[in-house]
Each structure stands twice: as C-alpha cells, then as structure tokens.
Amino acid sequence: MYQLIRPLLFRLDPETAHELAIGALRLAARSPLVTGLLRALYGGGDDPRLSVSAFGLEFPNPIGLAAGLDKDGVAVPAFTALGFGSVEVGSVTAMAQDGNPRPRLYRLPADEGLINRMGFNNGGAAALAERLAVTAPRPDSPRSDSWQSGGQGPGAERPGTQRRVPVGVNVGKSRSASLADAEDDYRAALRAVWRQADYLVFNVSSPNTPGLRDLQEREPLERLLGAARTLADELGARPVLVKLSPDLSTEQILAVADVAAANGAAGLIATNTTVSRPPLASTHAGQPGGLSGLPLAARAVAVLETLTAHTALPVVSVGGVRTAVDVRDRLRAGAVMVQVYTGFVYRGPGMLRELKDDLVTLLDLEGVADVSSLRPR
C-alpha cells in the first residue's frame, strides 16, 4: 500500500509530507483499535531470538527509530505498534524553538537519501515530558490521567497503547544558548525529561546548530557528562549516550569515545548526518545541511568499526540501514543495535516486519542462535 501512496507523498514538499505522516500516526496513537490494527498489519511479533540487552535495558528487537522523525514524541504508541525495538524522540531543547527557515528538508530519491537543516525545531522539553507521561509512561511511573481529567495541555492525549519498548530522549542545545552556557542549557532540558526517558542522548553532533559540534571536544563534553551524573544522583540513574558526527577524524572519534567512557556514558550512537558529499545523482545534492540515508552508509560502517575496535562502550549504528543484511552486518561489526530513519521514509511502515522476518531467516540459514551471537566476542 505504501508503494502506491508514496508517489503522492513525494509530490508534496518534504516537510509537509512529514507533517501529514506524523499527524496521521499521532491520531493512530490515540486509538487502541488503530494501534492494534497497525500491530497486526505491520508490527508482527518479535521472535525471542531478536531480543537485545543493552545499557541495562531490554529491547524486543535490535532495530530502533532514530531521533528526528518524531521530534515531539507525539506518535510513540504508533511507532511501537509498527514494530520498532526502541523509539528515540527529539532532538528536544530546553525551550520551544522554530528551527531554521523553510525550506529545510530535501529528498534525494535517486540516492535514497535526505538532506536536512531543520535546526532542532521542537515544542520544548517540558511539553515532551508531559506528553510522554501520558502516551508512553515508564513502567516504574504511575500513568498520567490528565486526559481523563479533561486537561488541555500537551499531555492531554489518550494513549492508544501501553509502552512496550524503551523510549530514548535525544537532547540538543538551544540556538539561543551560547557555547559557554551550553552546560546549563542541556541540564535544563535533561531535568525536564529525565524521569520520562528510559535512556537519554547528548546530541552534540548535528551540523545544523552553529557551534554545536564544538561540544564534542574534551572539556565541554566532560562538563556535559558531569551534569548528567549530577542529575542521576538527584533523579535516579538513567543510561546516557553520546551521538557522534561522522565528519570527525579517526583521532577525534577515539577521543570522544575515551571521554565518554571516562565520564560515565553508557554508550555511543554512530552516526549523525554528514556535511560531506559523496557523488550524488539527485537534484538537491548541493543543498547545505546534514546528509542521511544510503549515501552515509559506508562512512557509518567505518566509524562503527573504528569505535568497536577501540572501546568497550556499546555502540548503536545509524546511517544507511535498509535491509536485514545491513542489520546483520552492523551487528557483526560490533553494534549492539541499529537505528533507521531515512530508510523508513523510503520503504514505509512495512519495513520493520520485513527486516525482522528476514533477519530471523538469516539466523536460520547461518545456524546462529540469536542476534546477540552475531556480535564479536
């Protein structure tokens, strides 16, 4: 069905199409009947052999939704029903902000890629936390009943399903905050969402907020991770991950991994979008912003291999994951899980069921007990 609808969606401005899709999923998330239908059509069941343990959390399968698709966490139950093993929302900032001027999102259909310069457009950390408290409550938190009491705030949405998978919150720096104030800015955002997140991610690698990537340097990254440790002492332990840029040199990648390991990070996400431009065939290839999708795949694999050869920290691999073979190969290269975004845009809601079914078939063909056995020992 998606292959019939996609040409119509692709005639629309990319951000308009994205808003329509998220709007539809947001409505679906409010109905147990619709989320149940989505699960039956697309989600399927998760074979026990696909389950993964990482960062002290249990994931029903190793394929997660990357940050950026559901910035404000409006459709978590719908994405859960579609079969994702985890859902990462954001990037969210301490205060709501509009992001960069439109147009700021471009399709590269001939390359199966996207270029974006969104600039962390989102409704703010407090609004996201209130919404997650209702639509995706943590197992150890009482479910919010704001929808029952007639509340009209951002959390006042009846959920379509209970949380089934871990939900991560990806946190970025507000555009209005200087680099000198970044620690306080991140702390404010983290504090707002901390109790509603299963894990948290420092986004210090987006190319679309001026100066943000400077926060991957040793001293600022140490300060950010120190702020997270202080919050953990106050609010309770949460796994905190760091998301890396693919445009770092090998020496810089290893340095970030060392700082993360020395300062309590639970893992790494590799990688964010790239400002580099491999040969591309699509019309908008020259647009500024971060490139994602298939053109990023080779660099994402290279960064993954660099990290897993150097650090014991778990690594989540992102960038150009399209097939079950891609998933298998990333796990064999040392990734604990993968995330998808651009591939989902091109392949649609049936992607997850296909990936999981094909991954089980690969395990059977290769005589592998489970996905955890794919990782090097």
Residues with catalytic roles: 206
**Could you tell me which of 371, 261, 236 has the C-alpha nearest to residue 315?**
261
Q: Is it true that the peptide bond before 342 is cis, omega within 30 degrees of 0?
A: no
> In whole angstroms, what separates CA 200 from the centre of its chain?
10
Contact 294, 280 (CB under 8 A): no
Count other Cβ atoms within 10 Å, centred on residue 102.
13
Q: Please enumerate, as own/partner, the contacts of 19-22 that have beta carbons within 8 Å and a separation of 24 or more.
A: 22/69, 22/70, 22/74, 22/75
Contact 222, 255 (CB under 8 A): no
Rg over alpha carbons for the chain, rounded to the nearest Å, is 19
d(CA 71, CA 125): 10
> Phi/psi of residue 93, each to 5°?
-120, 170
Q: Which two tokens stand for residue 220?
A: 């600022």
